A and B are shown apart, each in its own frame.
Chain A
């Protein structure tokens, strides 16, 4: 019998956490989440307040 082919993009949820308590937020998710929120807030501020942006000019 051949082994079943593992498709990492399939809807296989067998690896997800087991247990009765909610899992803690992973550290990488906190770090990348903060980066993403800073990016989104910076863009929102640029559009909301009409900040004039010139490439390479900061401050």
Chain B
């Protein structure tokens, strides 16, 4: 390991330890805000690892997230909490595998549209099932889990995701993923099992998204398809990841912090204009920061 990467890991560890004390030092409001930051940090980092690297822009984030939420809503009465999380991970992974197999021959715009379509399809299916079969709109989640516990779980999950990202950035699997993003045909002729790599990493990152959904579900007490499968979440994750930059696994989080804070302010003062502002932010990013804050800062340091 180089001294640079050792320093990076040491700094990450220090940051995680410091963040672990946040619920005790802050108040209910800061904890709730930080839960939101961690929620998106998990989703955007997981998104960046697969979608950012391979350039398969997915809008199915919320499908995995929602599957996690519903695993809790349906199973938390019968199963112990760790088992619920495991089931959420498995269901999210299975869904990702199915989506991955269906999209093997899709790329570019077609992949984007497919991923969005599948997320909407799942939302509609759940809505239909709940109203026709179960006979209700939503479900209640009554669990004795405090905000601080949710926060710590999300932080631990982010820690795992961080390790995955750091490992991938050094490993052959991560190298293969980058090569697939550059030119899948050439990657195949270098001996890379591109199908296997795509499916493995998509599935792994989707599991993180599902577990994120499962962890935050008790926070809402009441969930329904329009909350758990809200497509806005998928779009926000893309915007955040692109703002941060996807050239490295730690890039997306740079976009998460400012945008979660900005959305917090926006939804308080301009609740009706939220999506207009989201769209405007997206345009600004694409025009001014095509490689995100990460790319811009690299450029800045090189110029000095």
Partners in one complex: no
Binding site for B on A (CB under 8 A): none
